[in-house]
Structures are given as structure tokens and as C-alpha cells.
Structure 1
Amino acid sequence: MPNTFERLHRFFLLPFFARMSNLSLPCLILAFCLSLAACQPKQSQNSPITIAIGSWYGYYPLYYASDLGIDEKYGLSIKVLEPQNISSFRRIYVNEQVDFVGTSMIEFTNAKAFTKQDIQPVLVSDFSNGGDVVIARQNIQTPEQLKGKIIAVPSNGIGEYFMSLVFDDKEPSQHFKQFIIPETACQQAFDQNTIDACVTYPPISTHLLKNPELHKVLDTSAYPGQIYDLLWSKPHVNAQQRSAIKKVWYETVAAIEADPVAYHSYIAQLADVSVSSAEEAMLGIKLVNEQDMKDMFADVDALNKRIVAACYIAQGENCEKFANAFAPLDM
């Protein structure tokens, strides 16, 4: 039985050469090469993009965008890196070739110091909408009653920034006795009567609230849009790539809003948790869509002031350099 080349030779090349016998040999060879080239598969023109993220559901639309092929629609091929601890995360965004990074407001200010580079915010990915909570004993019923109490709050983090909003002070520890332990140690600290309250988040808060002696005093839904996460770019990223990643993000969030059940199932599988756990976690997170971003940029000064305030929590000085972190035309 003739192979593929024999068929090609018999049914195409011989008639072709017969019809074109008046052409020179170089022309015939050129025509043949061009005919073969036309049959080759086209190479992907998508630009490979590497994004490092912290382990936080607020960044998981980036995985979803790649899975749905939305990144390719805008000429990108997204690869997500998710280190499992803060030291590895920092090492990656400082030393390795990544293009975009997803962090909290506070970690963005740290990254500026660690990288010593002109890193630029691209978009707000999400904001805490009840995900961060203050769990306290029953004798504390209002935020005002937290004053002077012993509260478990990790230092230089989002919990401390949350308390700066509660007390309207960039140095919130002046208003309470700060007990520095990880959130996971709050249960034991309550049991030992070491603390009066704890700043934490699900699933830790869910577990703590099973104790009838404890309750939720307040959560971040009282401060909408004030505790947010962002996606920022390294200096080598060009304007076209920045624009493309915004389009990818907005279209992905729109897809999630259209079918949240599918997304909850997706992240549950990705994070190896139950769908109910994923749904519970997402209740406290507001993914920022295109209209949300426009609303935030309507008062870009306020957006920047929050980064300045976060910097004071993280570093305590030289924070006015973030006063123009988001430029008015970034949107």
C-alpha cells in the first residue's frame, strides 16, 4: 500500500510538474516548499505571562481565566505560581522572572521595599466584605467595648490594619493590649482566658463561633472597599500586557457572577475543600468587577490613602511615597 508521500507524489506532484514543465526547477521547488508550509500548524501568538499569588481565593479567578481560555482570547497564556508560605512567595517575586503579583495592600508596600523596583498597581482584585472578623467574649457587645481589652492581632498585617479602621488611628495598638499570636492559636488563648478577642477569618472564625461563650462583634463589611488586595506588575511589563490582564480579569469576574455555583465547585476542587467551605469563604470576599473598579477610581485619592495607611502599619515611616500609587488614568 503506498504511503503518504507516495500518494502525494502520484496524485499531486507528477501532474503538478507536468503542467508546470515550462517553469524553471528553482520555481518548482519554491512552489512545493510553499505548499508544504501552508500545511504546517500555526504557532501560538499568545504572550506567556507568569503571575505569583498568595494563597487567597481572591486571586483564584486567574486560574479560572486560564481554564476557560479567556487569557488566550486577549493574547495571553497565564501561568499561576502559588507558594505555600510567605518566605517562598517573597523569594519568587523578588528573585524570579514573574510578570504580575497578587498581594494584600500591606504586602504591596513591603514588596516595594524588598524589590527596590518601580512596581505598579494594575487593578484591585477583591476586597474583604466580612471575611475578616473580630470574635470576642459575650461581655463585649460593641466595637467601642474593645478599647483597653486584650486582643489577639498578628503584627504588621491585615488584622492590625483592620483595627486601625475600628479605632480610626494609624497606630491602633494604643487603644488595646495587643497579644501577638497567629490566628490559629486563638482557640487555645480563649480557653486559657489569655485574650478577650481575636481578629481572624474563616474557617478559623467558623470554628471559634461554635463556642457559645464567643460571638462576632464586627466584620469588614462595615468598611466596604477599605481592605483590598491588588494585582501589580514588575517594571518590564508593557502597557499592552497590563491592558490585556485587566480585560482578562473583568471578563472572568463577569463569568463568575453569571454562574457562581460553577466557580465555587471549581475552586473547591482546586483547593481540595468542600463546596460549602468554598461558598462560605467567598461570602466574605467581593471580587472586583469592571464597574466596581470604575467606582473606586471615582475617588482615586481615597484608594491611595488606604495604601498609605497600610504602609504605616507595615513599615511605620516613609509612606507618603504611595500617595500616587494608583494614577487617575490607570483605569
Structure 2
Amino acid sequence: MSISQPRRRILTTGLGAALLLLGSGGGCGSRQREPIRFATNPWPGYDPLYVARDKGYFADAGLEVVLVDLTSIGASRRAFERGQVDGCGATLVEILLAADQSGIRPQIAAVVDYSDGADVLVAARAVKNLADLRGRRVAIEPGTLHIQLLALALDSVQLTIRDVALVPMPQNAMPAAFHDGLVAAAVCFPPESNRLLEAGGRVIFHSGQVPGEVVDTLVFDEAFVARRGNEVQGFVGAYYRAMAFINANPDEAHAIMARRGNMSVEEWRQTLKGLRFVGREEQVELLSPGGAVERSLNNLQSAMLALAQLRQSRRLKDFLIARELIAGGHVGA
């Protein structure tokens, strides 16, 4: 995957109408309310929100939505924690950090995409396989989903984060460190991963091997959902209406999204390689007990706790809207 923009750094009504916590927000018209402020970052999984805005789908749902386009996912998380926005695009890393560091409880309204090969663990030729990473130096960028992918990779061979020597560095420093033999492996994504491969590295694990586990989501603050749950439902519904438009009118939709990223349509389409959008019909399966997202969350928490990045462990159901319905495993009307 060739991504020219900064990636996720920090560091349906997706579940059907019945899976969104409705109730206390339903009495007043949206014109009497403050607009919904939602922070995004330069990652194509959130670009359908801009199609929803430009095509008037938020307005059709009776919503006034302000999309706050920030430069990184870390900036989005901080704005969310400070109450400057009502929701944001987030990976599981940001959800856990926001809950742990700020005391707010992010609520997942929908999983919008998952990495399907874009994120990779590249190793030097001397590393025979994943198990051979034991005791070796592995580069990761601190506070990013790098730790998530590494934890998933190591778990697949019954290793943990404690079994390797983590070497923190920004991703753009990884090619030189790898070339100079300072690290035996690195977690990264294009274009840096391409440089490591050119230096003789090989991919020994990638996100496509754990489909549905390295995810991006739309999250809202629990207090906001309690007050305005019907508007959250409308927001996510507009997102999926935009997805339907994208599928039916790719040229027009891709042009809208390419403008958002300040790139050509062809460049934007290249960013989609290694990413898989998630439909509303897939939400319950992904978010069910024992499903891909819960497995990933548990692995991630173990790694972050081991690194003292979290103070306590949480369960996926703590972050799910209408948790009791999700546990029942059915989609509402």
C-alpha cells in the first residue's frame, strides 16, 4: 500500500438502529442544539464522512455536523479528551488511552474499516521466523498502533512483548536503523516499509493475517450519547448512506475524498490498498463476545499494561453502545 499522507499517529447505524443507545436525546429538534463536532485525521477510512457532508446526508438527517480535520490521530484524541469535540475517529489504542488518561468513556458507534495488509512487521534476513524474534531488538513508534500489530504477531507464536527488546523511534528513522543493523525488525507501513524491503528485509507478519483486528472506529463520548443518542444514530446512518453512494458512484465520490486529502484521484485510490471498509451488516460479528475486535483489544491491553501505558484493564463491552443488545447478538430494525 502506498500512503503519502500521515497515518494513524499518537501516540449503522452500524449495529442497526436498536444497537444505538436512544432515549434521553430524542425530544428536541436538532436546530435547537449545538452542532455535532467530530474530529477526523488523515486516514481514508474517515473520508466517507466528507462525502456525507458534501452530498447533504447529514442535513437530510436533520443534523448540523462540523468535521474538525486534524493532522494526526493523537491530536484528535486530545481534542476528544478535552471536550473540544463530541466524537472522533479512533483506533483501539486511542480508545484505551482516552478512557485511561481522561476518565471519559468512548463509545464505539461503528467499525468503519480494518487494515488488511497495510501494516507490516519487517525482519532482517537473519530472523528465520516470528519465533526467532525472541530477545531481538524490534523498532516501534511509541504511542501508535505499532504496539497492537506487534502484540498480535507475537501472540500468534506464543510470545509476548516482554520476549523482545523494544526500540522506540519515529517511523521515518526506521529505514536507517534497519540498514545499519541497529534493529532486527520493525513495525511500519508504506512508504517506510518499502525502504526496509529494499534494504533486504522481508515481511514476516501483516495485518491481513488478523482480519478485523486492526480497526478504525467512530466513537462518541458516553455522556454525549446519553443526551443525544438519536443524533448519533443519524450521524452513523449518514456515514453508511455515503458508503452506498461511494459504491454506486465511485468516480464522483473518489473525487470528493481526494480533494479532502489534497491529492489526485489516482493517489487516493492507491491509499485504499491494504484497507477494507466494513459494512453495517458486519458490525455485530466483529463486535460480538469472542469476536475479532475483542481478541485484538485483549492482546493490545496485555501489551500496553506490560509497558505501563495503561493503569487498568477494561472490557470491550465497556466501550459499546447498547451493550446488552450486542451481547444478545442480534441486529435491531
Give the TM-score taking structure 1 as reference length. Answer: 0.76
Counterpart residue identity of residue 142, structure 2: S
In 1, Cα distance between the equivalents of 2:253 and 2:127?
A: 37
What is the total number of aligned residue pairs between the two structures? 287
Q: CA deviation at 1:305?
A: 4.5
1:149 to 117, 136, 153: 136
Aligned partners of 1:226 and 1:306 also within 8 Å: yes
Amino acid at match of 2:178: F
Deviations 1:257-294 (A, max 9, x none): 33444444433322223434322321111121112213
Select 1:311's aligned residue among 301, 306, 314: 301
Residue equivalent to 1:320 = 314
Q: 1:255 to 1:87 in 2, by over 3 A?
A: closer
**Contact 1:253 1:288 (8 Å CA) reproduced:** no
CA apart distance, 1:205: 2.1
Query: In 2, distance between residues paired with 1:288 and 1:91?
Result: 26
- Contact conserved, 1:52 with 1:98, CA < 8 A, in 2? yes
Deviates more, 1:304-313 or 1:239-248: 304-313
Q: Distance in 1 between matches of 2:290 and 2:318?
A: 8
Q: For residues 265 and 148 of structure 1, what CA distance do their matches in structure 2 show? A: 47
Q: Is 2:256 the partner of 1:271?
A: no
User: Which of these two proteins has the greater Rg computed from alpha carbons?
Assistant: 1
The aligned residue for residue 59 of structure 1 is 46
Residue type at the aligned position of 1:154: E
- Superposed CA deviations along residues 28-47 of structure 1, whole A, max 9, x for unmatched, are xxxxxxxxxxxxxxx99596
For residues 104-151 of structure 1, give each alpha carbon's deviation from its aligned partner in whole angstroms, at most 9, with x where no partner exists: 101111111333223322111211111111222234464334333322
Q: Deviations over 1:78-120 (max 9, x none)?
A: 2111222466434421224422211110111111133322332
Distance 2:303 2:40 in 1: 21
The answer (yes or no) to whether the contact 2:57–2:241 under 8 Å persists in 1 is yes
Tell me which of the two structures has the higher relative contact order, counting C-alpha pairs closer than 8 angstroms and 6 or more residues apart. 2
Change in Cα spacing, 1:86 to 1:250, as seen in structure 2 (3 Å) is closer
Query: What SS does the corresponding residue of 1:167 show, helix, strand or coil?
Result: helix
Report which stretch shifted further, 49-58 or 171-180. Answer: 171-180
Cα-Cα RMSD: 2.8
Q: Describe the SS at the equivalent of 1:138.
A: coil
1:328–1:265 CA distance, 2 compared to 1 (3 A): farther
Residue in 1 that maps onto 2:58: 71
Q: Post-superposition shift, 1:236?
A: 2.4
5 Å matches for 1:94-113?
94-113=81-100
Q: Which of the pair is proportionally richer in helix?
A: 1
1:329 paired residue number = 325
Q: Report the Cα distance in structure 2 between the residues aligned to 1:175 and 1:132, rounded to whole angstroms.
A: 21
Who is 2:123 aligned against? 136
Query: Taking structure 1 as reference, are residues 153 and 279 closer, same or farther at Cα in structure 2, changes over 3 Å only?
Result: same
Q: Distance in 2 between the 1:46 and 1:145 partners?
A: 60
Q: Is the 8 A contact 2:86 2:224 kept in 1?
A: yes
Instruction: Please state how far the C-alpha of 1:228 moved relative to its aligned partner.
Output: 0.9
Distance in 1 between residues matched to 2:241 and 2:73, nearest whole Å = 29
Which blocks of at least 5 consecutive residues in structure 2 are unaligned? Answer: 1-28
* Contact kept? 1:124, 1:229, Cα under 8 Å: yes
3-state SS of paired residue (1:272): coil
- Per-residue CA shift, 1:186-237, capped at 9, x if unaligned? 111122221222111123223443x152332231000000111211112123
**1:89 maps to 2:85:** no
Q: In the alignment, is the contact (CA less than 8 A) between 1:254 and 1:289 conserved in 2?
A: no
Match of 1:201 among 189, 203, 211: 189
Q: Equivalent residue for 2:148? A: 161
Residues 49 and 239, structure 2, Cα contact 8 Å, conserved in 1: yes
Equivalent of 2:102 in 115, 122, 130: 115
